Amino acid sequence: MRLNSYEVIPALRNHGSRVAALLVAGDEPYLSLNLADQARAFCRENGFQERELFEVDGKFDWGNFTSSTQSLSLFSEKKIIELRFNNVPDRKAQTALEEYFTNPQEDLFLLISTPQLKAAQQKAKWVTTIDQAGIVSILYPPRVHEYPGWIFNEAKMRGLKLEKEAVDLLAQNNEGNLFSVIQELDYLTLYYGDQVISAEELRSALTQSSKFIAFDLSDAILEGDILRINRIITAFEEEGEAATLVNYLLQKEISTLGEMLLELSNGKNMQQVLSKVWRNKQPLYQQALSRLNLRTWKNVMKMVVQIDGAIKGQIRENPWNAIRRVAFALSGQRLLSLSAIPVVK
């Protein structure tokens, strides 16, 4: 089946047991990574608990791939094998894929990512072979006239209600930068929920967040940049930003790091662990993981409770100081001691 990105997951739900693979081909990072994330989530929901990742270049040993397709873990009956190609598959890779799909394994799902394929390459035997056994999705970034429609659909999936003028404003402010659009939509989802957003309200929200978008705090924490962390949090506090928003993003980052640390402790290598985040963020996560351990992470988890308590007035402490303490600890430094006092009612 040849499907666009919005058709892939519905097709997997309808025909999942008969789909042996998904080929995602495209040069736009957000589109490729997002579709791959959705496919992995679908597989996990349907019993594919084991996953093996191969980064494929010209020196890749296809014997490792063959061995992986012929063996399953004692603890899992279904497995995802992910092949990430740095370049369009060469003759050796094409042959290996063609041979595998002559008799694909019922309990394996192959998730294959490649750069964009030209029209002639899309007709190659290895592609048509995958087409017959699974799904092929060729991803193109939205063209100028399609861009507002793409933004509207992404907003709708997040429960956001944007007026047409607001959609047009987002399109104008983020020409061709899909990652930037997604960051803005995620911010608006937290800030406005299901409230209808006009162009004027959007402009106001973007102005409020223009100095330090909340996601900048995540990068500063992962880098361990104490001075930048303090500047961003201070700016949030001075601008009257909601501490609950920053707390939500902080907890989301902590959860991601905790999952990654647990996977490392269970024997997965760094490359496998980093595969769950955007490629452009992988160096930052690797930097954070190199200085953190599970013991530190568990201590941070205890500290996070204090943020919620301060926001709700259950303890006497400025919520922003509690946020600073957690952010500094994640950066590898304990610069603020606990100053909270329980509220006696």
- What pLDDT, on a 0 to 100 scale, did the predictor assign at position 211? 46
- What pLDDT, on a 0 to 100 scale, did the predictor assign at position 217? 83
d(C-alpha 298, C-alpha 293), whole Å: 9
**Average pLDDT of each block of 10 consecutive residues along the chain (345 residues)?**
87 84 91 90 88 88 88 70 92 94 90 94 95 94 88 91 90 76 84 86 69 68 90 82 80 88 90 78 89 90 88 88 92 65 44
- What pLDDT, on a 0 to 100 scale, did the predictor assign at position 215? 61
d(C-alpha 263, C-alpha 226), whole Å: 27
Phi/psi for 118 (5° steps) reads -70, 165
d(C-alpha 239, C-alpha 233), whole Å: 10
d(C-alpha 62, C-alpha 91), whole Å: 12
Pairing between β-strand 196-197 and β-strand 161-162 as defined by DSSP bridges: parallel
Beta bridge partners of 80: 51, 109
Q: Is 116 exposed, middle or buried (0-12, 13-18, 19+ CB in 10 A)?
A: middle
Q: Is 298 exposed, middle or buried (0-12, 13-18, 19+ CB in 10 A)?
A: exposed
Single-letter amino acid, residue 298: K
Coil, helix or strand at residue 29: helix
Q: Is 179 exposed, middle or buried (0-12, 13-18, 19+ CB in 10 A)?
A: middle
- What pLDDT, on a 0 to 100 scale, did the predictor assign at position 78? 86
Coil, helix or strand at residue 36: helix
Q: How many C-beta atoms surround the C-beta of residue 237 within 10 A?
A: 17
d(C-alpha 197, C-alpha 17), whole Å: 41
Domains of the chain, earliest start first = 5-138 (3.40.50.300), 147-210 (1.10.8.60), 216-342 (1.20.272.10)
- What pLDDT, on a 0 to 100 scale, did the predictor assign at position 343? 45
pTM of the model: 0.61
With tokens 């006696």, the residue in question is: 344
d(C-alpha 82, C-alpha 97), whole Å: 13
- What pLDDT, on a 0 to 100 scale, did the predictor assign at position 72? 63
- Tokens in use for 110? 């192959």
- What pLDDT, on a 0 to 100 scale, did the predictor assign at position 134? 93
- What pLDDT, on a 0 to 100 scale, did the predictor assign at position 121? 94
